[in-house]
Amino acid sequence: MDYLILQQVIADQKMLAARRSRGIKRLIDTGKHLKSKQISVISGIRRSGKSTLLLQLADQYPDFHYITFDDERLINFQISDFNTLLIELNKYHSSQTILIDEVRNITGWERFVRRLHDEQYKVFISGSNSKLLSSELATHLTGRYIKTELFPFSFPEYLQFKQIDYKKKTTENLGKLSGAFDGYLSNGGFPEFLFSNDSEFLHRIYEDVIYRDLIVRFGIKNVKGFKNLVQYLFTNFTRETNYNSLAGILGFNSTTSVRDYVSFLSESYLVFELYRYDYSLKKQYQSNKKIYVIDNGLRNAVSFRTSQDNGRMLENLVFIELKRRGLECWFYKTKNNLEVDFIWFLKEPQLAQVCYDLTNPVTYKRETNALETAMKELSVKSSVILSYNERKEIKTPAGVIRIIPVPDWLTGLYF
C-alpha cells in the first residue's frame, strides 16, 4: 500500500466523516453497543444507513478514528498494511474508539480487529454480507462481539423522516398517516432514495449488489442466468417455489447452481428464504420455500410488474418487519393444506395472516378458516390478520382472531 495514498485517504475520510450528515436517528437499541466493551458489528444491505449509524454511535465518544474500505484508493490494501494504518490514525490524535466501515473488503481483517479489541480499543465494524461476517466472527472473535442487523427505514423511522407523529389522532394527522403508509408500502425505506426521490439510486443499489458483491466476489460465470434468476425472484416474491422448479423454468442444468445463487443473494440481504414450519428440520429444508425481498421500493424499481401487487407488497413488508424485530419465522400449512402466512414463537406460537382487502367474502372465509384450523392444531387461543386498514375482532370456537391494520401493527399501537 502506497504510504502517501494511505495518508491522503485518512485525511480525506476524516474530513468527510466530520461533514457527513448524521441523518435520522435510528430506532434501534444502541445502548447495548455503547455500554459494552465488546466489538460492535453492524451488518445489512448496501446503503441501508450502516455508515450513518456508525457515526451516530461514534458521536457518543469524545473522539474517534474512522476508515472505510469502500474506497477505490484502498484496492491494494492488505493485512500487512493494518499496522501502518493504525500508526497513521494515531499520528495526529490518539483515540481508543475506531470505526471500520465495509471491513470485509480486506482479507484477514478479523485478526486485526481482534488485536484492537485485545489492546482495549472500542471497535465498531460494518459490512454488507451476513455469512462472511458471521463465519469470520465465529472463527476468530467468538464471545468478543455484539451484532445488529440494519434494514432500510422502518415505518416509524419513515414517519420520523416525514415529520409525522403517529400518536396524534386528529383527522388531519390520520390523513397524513394514511398517505405516508401508501408511500412507504410502494417506495420502501432506503434513506437516500427518500431524500432524493430518484429511482436511479435504487437501480444503482441493485447493480452494485449484483455485480460488485456477488458476480465479482463469487466468480459467477453464468451472469445471464444469474440475473434472470434475480429478476424472476423479484417478480414472483412471496410465492412458494423450490430449486427444481426454478432450475426448470430458467433453464439451469442443475439445482445446485440455483441453490448456491439463492444463498449468495441471501448473504447480501437482497432476498430471504422463508421455510415451511415442520418439527423435522429435514422436511423444512426439503419443502417449498417462499422468497421475500429486502425492500418494496427496490423491488418495484427493478422488477417486471403487471399489476399493483398491493397484497404481495403488504406481505413482504410484514415479513421484513419480523426480520427487523429479530424474530425467526416460518409459513405454516395445516393438515388439510391451508396456508398461514407466518408463524413465530414467543411464549407460545404466534400466527398471522396478511391480507390487503377482506371485503370479498371468499377471501375473508379463506383467511379465517386457515387461521382457525391452525389454531386448533397448535392449541393457540388467538391469532391476527394484518390488513390494509380494517379492524375487527372475531370470536371462533378455536379462539379469537383480531384483524389489525398494518400501520397500527408497525407502530405498536394495537396493543
Over residues 107-144, the pLDDT tens digits come to 899 999 999 999 999 999 999 988 766 777 777 788 89
Q: Across residues 136-158, what is the average pLDDT? A: 90
Q: Is the CB of residue 80 less than 8 Å from the CB of residue 165?
A: no
The pair phi, psi for residue 347, each rounded to 5°, is: -75, -30
CATH 1.10.3470 fits 156-309, yes or no: no
What is the amino acid identity at position 107? Answer: T
Q: Across residues 97-109, what is the average pLDDT? A: 92
Of the CA atoms within 13 Å of residue 240, those in its CB half-sphere come to 12
Looking at residue 248, its pLDDT comes to: 97
How many CB atoms are located within 10 Å of the residue 61 CB?
14
Average pLDDT over the chain, rounded to whole?
Answer: 94
Does the pLDDT at position 160 exceed 90?
yes
Q: Across residues 356-374, what is the average pLDDT? A: 97
Give the model's confidence band at 308: pLDDT under 50 very low, under 70 low, under 90 confident, else very high. Answer: confident
Can you tell me the distance from the alpha carbon of 295 to that of 264, in angstroms, rounded to the nearest whole number? Answer: 17
Q: Among 104-108, 194-198, 229-233, which is the least confidently predicted range?
A: 104-108
Q: Across residues 237-248, what is the average pLDDT? A: 96
Q: Across residues 330-341, what is the average pLDDT? A: 97
Looking at residue 339, its pLDDT comes to: 98
Looking at residue 169, its pLDDT comes to: 86
Give the model's confidence band at 415: pLDDT under 50 very low, under 70 low, under 90 confident, else very high. Answer: very low
Task: Map grid coordinates 473488503 to a residue.
Answer: 105
Q: Is the CB of residue 340 less than 8 Å from the CB of residue 373?
A: no
306 burial via Cβ count (<10 Å: 0-12, 13-18, 19+): exposed
Over residues 133-142, the pLDDT tens digits come to 677 777 778 8
Does the pLDDT at position 10 exceed 80?
yes
Q: Which three cell numbers stand for residue 413?
A: 399501537
DSSP for 181-250, written as a single string: HHHHHHH---HHHHHH--HHHHHHHHHIIIIIIIIITTT-S-HHHHHHHHHHHHHTTTSEE-HHHHHHHH
Looking at residue 132, its pLDDT comes to: 61
Looking at residue 413, its pLDDT comes to: 63
Can you tell me the distance from the alpha carbon of 153 to that of 102, in angstroms, rounded to the nearest whole number? Answer: 20
Looking at residue 225, its pLDDT comes to: 97
What is the fold of 3-150? Rossmann fold (3.40.50)
Looking at residue 281, its pLDDT comes to: 87
Does the pLDDT at position 351 exceed 70?
yes
Interstrand relation of 97-101 and 39-43 (parallel, antiparallel or unpaired):
unpaired
* Residue ranges per structural domain of the chain: 3-150, 156-309, 329-411
